[in-house]
Structure 1
Amino acid sequence: MCGRFTQHLSWAELHRLADLVGPPSNLRPRYNIAPTTRIEVIRPGAAGNELTPMRWGLLPAWWKKPLSEMPSTFNARAETVAEKPMFRSAFKSRRCVIPASGFYEWTGAKGSKTPHYFSALTGEPLAFAALWETWRDPESDAKVDSATIIVGAANDWMARFHNRMPVILDWRGIGAWMAGDDPGALLKSAPENALQEWIVSSRVNRSGVGDDDAGLIEAVKQVQNA
């Protein structure tokens, strides 16, 4: 799974990697992104690839119940994303990319879990395979764009820490993912040398999201007390 990640990104870098259109944006660095909060998403538009904010947690267009009854949709499983009612419509025609600086996973026993931070070995942003939808709030009639990260089986390197991981695309292939005829072929584990890892502050273990600073991703020699 992927339940917490970071976006400390520059417009110039994303413009180079994803050939973005539109005016440059001053992107606020985020070091502790949790589900249901706003994230930056790349999706194809009429004039080209655009960067737009969305809710993290897919809301299918047909959902009519209160949001409090919405199951967790911040991740979609690669093995079933084409068939699951929550995701299959978006998989057919609303594929996108979520750029990430890195993501967190935990090891150890409940109550004393060790947080690890994962980022690209190259230092570039990661391109998570993702889906997006537009939902209309039945009470306010407001439109809400939302997205989910697709996760698949971990490669051998990642399996030491977790049995699942985000599907990571090659930036050169994001066009084929977002508009190609065979997206399922791209839902595979990342190369064994794609990521690097280090232990970070246990401040990340706290429930909810409070701390959101660069210190969260700094390497520590031992787990700190929360």
Structure 2
Amino acid sequence: MCGFIYNVNDFPLLEPLLDIAGYDEAEIRDIIRNRYLRPTDTVINLIPSRTGPRLLGATWWLATRADGSIDNRYNTFNAKAGKLTTSPMHTQHPRSIRSVVPAQGFCEWQPVYKGGRLYSQLPGQPKPSALPKPERKIQHLITQPDEGLMLLAAVSKLRLDEQGNPKVNTAVITLPPHQAFQDVHHKSFPLVLRPEELTRWLDPKQPWSEFDDLLNLDWFRDAFIARPVDAQCQPINNEFLKFEPDVE
């Protein structure tokens, strides 16, 4: 994910999570006032706690310095699925824990190359270092067909400030790009959870190995819609791409 999160903007859409999680209503209302969330913004984060799941505000950037400020030496708003159990970013204290970022969708920018060519039309689909200079970019808004709640799998780090208040940093888990999705975004695709997977995902007693199938997904389990939009995330025409689930 290189664009931004299309944020939930009303409480009714969050009801499935409000029924199972504790939350501070004022905090959540403050976050959902912002429709478009970019890296380092505050997102809603569903995390496990000793008293059960809880919705908290979290900074969408995982790495921090000793004083709690954002460490921008590396881009850590995403977390590659294949490195969650091996990268020092996740294994060093405080360890990364499984969490969820609820959203209504996300946006991605995709380059258009000379001659109006898309990534799939480039000879040999070169590595990023060998890509030609793009002429322009197209932005797509990706949602579920019903524009309902999207559960983005994430990892978070929980720290306490000097007053003992929780401070949360988070990163969205990304999978390798799906072949059919490469002309929308050729770098990655977020891991999207199903509602029935939440309980196990948020259970800290479950080892990472229990989620190997999810973390190695290379196919679409559910349908998605991608609409070309302008910089304000408004549709530029009536066209859209629909990605159907692959056969399981």
Instruction: Give the shorter-chain TM-score range.
Output: 0.7 to 0.9
Preserved contact between residue 139 and residue 228 of structure 2 (Cα < 8 Å): yes
Structure 1 position 195 matched with structure 2 position 224? yes
CA distance in 2, matches of 1:59, 1:43: 17
Q: Aligned to 1:64, which of 63, 66, 76?
A: 66
Preserved contact between residue 156 and residue 192 of structure 1 (Cα < 8 Å): no
Larger Rg: 2
Give the secondary structure class of the aligned counterpart of 2:13.
helix
CA distance in 1, matches of 2:201, 2:95: 11
Counterparts in 2 of 1:69 and 1:121: CA distance versus 1, 3 Å? closer
CA distance in 2, matches of 1:142, 1:45: 14
2:183 maps to 160
Write the mapping of 1:27-46 to structure 2, written as runs, cut at 5 A. Answer: 28-46=32-50
CA distance in 2, matches of 1:186, 1:12: 28
Structure 1 position 5 matched with structure 2 position 36? no
1:116 maps to 140
Preserved contact between residue 3 and residue 74 of structure 1 (Cα < 8 Å): no
Write the mapping of 1:97-116 to structure 2, written as runs, cut at 5 A. Answer: 97-107=100-110, 108-109=112-113, 110=134, 112-116=136-140
The two structures have a TM-score, normalised by structure 1, of: 0.77
The AA in structure 1 aligned to 2:181 is M
CA RMSD of aligned residues (A): 3.1
The AA in structure 2 aligned to 1:194 is A
Q: Aligned to 2:214, which of 169, 182, 186?
A: 186
CA distance in 1, matches of 2:145, 2:108: 17
Q: Deviations over 1:122-142 (max 9, x none)?
A: 32111111011134679x998
Structure 1 position 173 matched with structure 2 position 174? no
CA distance in 2, matches of 1:35, 1:160: 23
Q: Sequence identity of aligned pairs in percent?
A: 20
2:237 maps to 221
Q: Deviations over 1:11-44 (max 9, x none)?
A: 3332325622345443534332111111111112
Question: How many residues are treated as equivalent by the alignment?
Answer: 206
The two structures have a TM-score, normalised by structure 2, of: 0.71
Preserved contact between residue 94 and residue 158 of structure 2 (Cα < 8 Å): no
Preserved contact between residue 132 and residue 147 of structure 1 (Cα < 8 Å): yes
Give the secondary structure class of the aligned counterpart of 1:183.
helix
Q: Deviations over 1:162-218 (max 9, x none)?
A: 2311111112101211213313332224626421011101x2xxxxxxxxxxxx333
Preserved contact between residue 134 and residue 144 of structure 1 (Cα < 8 Å): yes
Preserved contact between residue 90 and residue 132 of structure 1 (Cα < 8 Å): no
Counterparts in 2 of 1:69 and 1:173: CA distance versus 1, 3 Å? closer
In structure 2, stretches of 5+ residues that fail to align are 114-133, 239-248
2:55 maps to 51
Give the secondary structure class of the aligned counterpart of 1:175.
helix
Preserved contact between residue 117 and residue 197 of structure 1 (Cα < 8 Å): yes
108-117 or 85-94: which moved more?
A: 85-94
Q: Aligned to 2:79, which of 73, 76, 79?
A: 76
Preserved contact between residue 155 and residue 192 of structure 1 (Cα < 8 Å): no
CA distance in 1, matches of 2:15, 2:52: 11
Preserved contact between residue 106 and residue 116 of structure 1 (Cα < 8 Å): yes
Q: Deviations over 1:136-172 (max 9, x none)?
A: 679x998631101010112233233223111111121
